[in-house]
Amino acid sequence: MKKYIVLVMIAIFAIGCGPKKEARYEGAEKNDYIEDGMEFLAESDLPRAIQSFDHAIQSDPMNPKNYLILGQVYLRLKEFTRAIDSFSGAIKVSPDNGEAYYFLATAKMLNGDKKGAVEAAQQSVEIFMNDRDEERFKKSVVLLKSLVDDPGEKVAQDVQEAVEKNTETVQ
């Protein structure tokens, strides 16, 4: 009987020590962090996904995409202040990034800062208009219109639903 218990314990130990996906930190390529983070997201390992995206930002702080992805993760987690920080980081490195302003407006609205949300949404509309990006321009106009026309909880609820449906767009 003891032999079986020992064999079961060894089997459990061996299974537990099986290969796991480890993030590549030292000497990794910039894209490895994003790839790792996306894999961790797919596995619902959010702490490791966030860690990978943080490493992506550290390895390439001038790439707004890294900030946008991390901000979207924070939006999904409803950590709006952190999302705002991430989207603001994207704007600092790329002040003409309409997508960063769009997501910043979303995060600010969900965080209860309607005035800041309206200002960010206006920036987004202006940038997409100047870039002649019709599809994103229309989305930004819809967001801005909802912020200006529909006060109260309904706006925050509508924006949250849109976030959940559309946060896969940036990768």
Fold of 80-171: 1.25.40
For residue range 70-95, list pLDDT tens digits in order: 999 999 999 999 999 999 999 999 99
The answer to whether the beta carbons of residues 124 and 91 sit under 8 Å apart is no
pTM of the model: 0.71
The pLDDT, as a whole number, for residue 6 is 39
Amino acid symbol at 126: E
Boundaries of every domain in the chain? 1-60, 80-171
What is the pLDDT confidence band of residue 98, given thresholds at 50, 70 and 90? Answer: very high
Rounded to the nearest integer, the mean pLDDT of the chain is: 80
What is the pLDDT confidence band of residue 171, given thresholds at 50, 70 and 90? Answer: very low
Give me the sign of the Cα torsion angle 20, 23, 28, 30: positive
Structure tokens at 68: 């946008």
